[in-house]
């Protein structure tokens, strides 16, 4: 798919990796909608970049469906959905204050996994009606997983479970939607410099950088946006997960 003129929705597009993707897509001439629960940042980005902002929580099935319907009303359809909304949900299974409350575990899974599913199905429902492009292509659904899905660290039980779930559903949804020409794929980032990371103490930040074999630093939102553009442009990238991590393999802690 060509980026210029592409109709895209980015969940979690009000911050971090999602915002980096939004900025790049706008620069490349796409029509972009941001779906995010942060209304203040969302409105600010809408006025700065001229994108369409939809305040919604990805956990809410009906709210996501309504938001996608609004995007289609505004843009006349939808070609690409990028799921970036997510939370870290750190915590030990057996913490200092006792076992992790199930509600905490569930919350992380709801935002990261269920939220990505809600976006995917609402987007696919619309994309199936797109006129077919080259090879019969009708759309792309791109998930954001994490390398913590493969090497989760201590304190990442909920986060890793949610991201492994995202990776787990990528292939079956890609297989299912293949008959419509809708691709489904995921990017698994290593450690990137975003507001999720800001606020960690300087020595922890330096230690994080030192863990990355090469280049020995955190990834940038631009590098993530490059990978999203690759996913959009390369029709043979389907049903797969792209690790983007500078050869980092997370240690146990
Ligand atoms: N930053 C990293 O190093 C890193 C590494 C691996 C994976 N990821 C993943 O990338 C994605 C983006 O991370 P980030 O670092 O940009 O984080 P971020 O906190 O900067 O941005 C996340 C955005 O998602 C939104 N959001 C959170 N919960 C939501 C909900 N329920 N409904 C709607 N919007 C919601 C937030 O308001 C925010 O704008 C996440 O899925 C994260 O797990 C990040």
59 lines ligand 1 (CB under 6 A): yes
Q: Over 90: is that where the pLDDT of 163 sits?
A: yes
- Which backbone phi and psi does 124 adopt, to 5 degrees? -60, -35
pTM, whole model, 2 decimals? 0.98
**Average pLDDT over every residue of 213-240:** 98
What are the residue boundaries of the structural domains of the chain, listed by start?
7-243
For the stretch 124-149, pLDDT in tens is: 999 999 999 999 999 999 999 999 99
Query: What CATH homologous superfamily does 7-243 map to?
Result: NAD(P)-binding Rossmann-like Domain (3.40.50.720)
* pLDDT at site 20: 98
**Average pLDDT over every residue of 218-232:** 98
Is 159 an annotated catalytic residue? yes
- Nearest protein Cα to ligand 1, atom 11: 84
Q: Over 80: is that where the pLDDT of 196 sits?
A: no
| DSSP secondary structure letter of residue 87 | -
Do residues 82 and 18 touch, judged by C-beta distance below 8 A? yes
* pLDDT at site 151: 97
- Nearest protein Cα to ligand 1, atom 40: 86
pLDDT band of 204, cuts 50, 70, 90: confident
Do residues 8 and 82 touch, judged by C-beta distance below 8 A? yes
Mean pLDDT for the chain overall:
97
* pLDDT at site 251: 94
Of these residues, 159, 162, 167, 228, which one is catalytic?
159
Q: Over 90: is that where the pLDDT of 7 sits?
A: yes
* pLDDT at site 120: 99
For residue 226, how many C-alpha atoms fall within 13 Å in the half-sphere facing its CB? 8
From the CA of 18, give the closest atom in ligand 1.
16
Q: Check residues 240 and 197 and name the one with the higher pLDDT.
A: 240
**Alpha-carbon gap, residue 17 to 34, rounded angstroms:** 12
Contacts of 228 (CB under 8 A, 6+ apart): 21, 24, 25, 82, 142, 187
Which segments of 68-177 are extended strands (E)?
Answer: 80-83, 94-95, 98-99, 139-144
pLDDT band of 22, cuts 50, 70, 90: very high
Q: Over 80: is that where the pLDDT of 161 sits?
A: yes
* Nearest residue to 115 (alpha-carbon basis) of 83, 91, 161, 149: 83
Checking phi first, is residue 81 left (phi over 0); if not, alpha (psi -120 to 50) or beta? beta
* Nearest residue to 188 (alpha-carbon basis) of 134, 137, 250: 250
221 lines ligand 1 (CB under 6 A): no
pLDDT band of 195, cuts 50, 70, 90: confident
14 lines ligand 1 (CB under 6 A): yes
pLDDT band of 3, cuts 50, 70, 90: very high
Tell me, in angstroms, the distance from the centre of ligand 1 to residue 196's CA: 7
* pLDDT at site 16: 97
Q: Over 90: is that where the pLDDT of 216 sits?
A: yes
| DSSP secondary structure letter of residue 91 | B
17 lines ligand 1 (CB under 6 A): yes
| DSSP secondary structure letter of residue 102 | H
Which segments of the chain are extended strands (E)?
Answer: 7-11, 31-36, 52-55, 80-83, 94-95, 98-99, 139-144, 182-189, 241-244
């Amino acid at each position: 798919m060509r980026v210029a003129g592409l109709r895209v929705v980015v969940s979690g597009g009000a911050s971090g990796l999602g915002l980096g993707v939004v900025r790049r897509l706008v620069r490349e001439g796409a029509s972009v909608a941001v779906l995010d629960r942060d209304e203040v940042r969302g409105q600010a980005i809408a006025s700065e970049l001229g994108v369409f902002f939809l305040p919604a929580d990805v956990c809410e099935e009906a709210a996501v469906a309504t938001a996608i319907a609004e995007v289609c009303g505004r843009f006349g359809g939808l070609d690409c959905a990028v799921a970036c909304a997510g939370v870290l949900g750190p915590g030990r299974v057996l913490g200092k204050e006792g076992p992790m409350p199930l509600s905490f575990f569930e919350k992380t899974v709801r935002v990261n996994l269920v939220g990505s599913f809600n976006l995917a199905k609402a987007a696919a429902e619309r994309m199936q009606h797109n006129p077919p492009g080259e090879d019969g292509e009708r759309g792309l659904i791109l998930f954001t997983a994490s390398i913590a899905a493969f090497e989760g660290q201590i304190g990442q039980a909920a986060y890793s479970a949610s991201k492994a779930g995202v990776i787990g559903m990528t292939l079956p949804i890609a297989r299912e939607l293949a008959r419509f020409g809708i691709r489904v794929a995921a990017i698994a980032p290593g450690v990137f410099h975003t507001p999720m990371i800001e606020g960690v103490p300087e020595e922890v930040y330096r230690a994080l950088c030192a863990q990355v074999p090469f280049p020995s630093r955190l990834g940038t939102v631009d590098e993530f946006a490059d990978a999203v553009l690759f996913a959009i442009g390369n029709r043979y990238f389907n049903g797969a997960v792209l690790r983007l991590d500078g050869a980092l393999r997370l240690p146990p802690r």
